[in-house]
Amino acid sequence: YPYLACEQIEALAAKYGRSVAFKPILLGAIFKVTGGAPLTETHPAKANYSKHDFERSARFAGVKFKYPSQFPISTVTAARAVLWLQSQGSAKAPLFVHKVFRAYFADDRNINDPAVLAEIADELGIDKAALAAGVQEPAIKDKLKALVDEAIARGVFGAPTIFVDGEMFWGNDRLPQVERWLAYGPF
């Protein structure tokens, strides 16, 4: 569901003169604290429904989707890559976010593979050697840990989680509520 929200949220924000600040997190770390689990690793009926709903929700949103052959996977390096790009002030950071999501959820590419991330960087004209070094910087590792801690402190228990004016919305299916909030304010 984070992929589906990611594909829609920037246009929604722009419609109301807002912008999106992507904050990578690690759901596995959050699940350890909250007791959560990937939807596909719960009761078999819920897991089967979730897979079907991912596909149906993507069709409904007009978003290309192919259920990944490996799910879930580690996203530590991809998250650090986004943070490193943001730390460099790169305007390409949001494009990288989208390309990584699409690589995984539309093209079934292993985004845990540094070579895949390097290919995505190369496609965007990002120095892949600098990116590979950047994801190993202690400050970037610390930033990711801090964002996970911040998310937990703010009550995040799953993704996508969207904050608008301090109000938390969880789930891709909350985008209509996000839009109402953006259009008319708190309700």
3-class secondary-structure state, position 96: helix
- Over its C-alpha atoms, the chain yields an Rg (Å, rounded) of 16
CATH of the domain at 24: 3.40.30.10
pLDDT at residue number 70 = 94
Neighbours of 140 (CB within 10 A): 20
Summary count for the chain: helices (H), strands (E): 9, 2
Q: How confident is the model at residue 86 (pLDDT cuts 50, 70, 90)?
A: very high
Domains in the chain, number: 1
Q: Which tens digits make up the pLDDT trace of 117-142?
A: 999 999 999 999 999 999 999 999 99
Phi, psi of 86 (to 5 degrees): -60, -40
The boundaries of the domain holding residue 97 are: 2-184
Are 39 and 50 in contact by the 8 Å Cβ rule? The answer is yes
Please give the model's pTM, rounded to 2 decimal places.
0.95
pLDDT value of position 40:
86
pLDDT of residue 39: 86
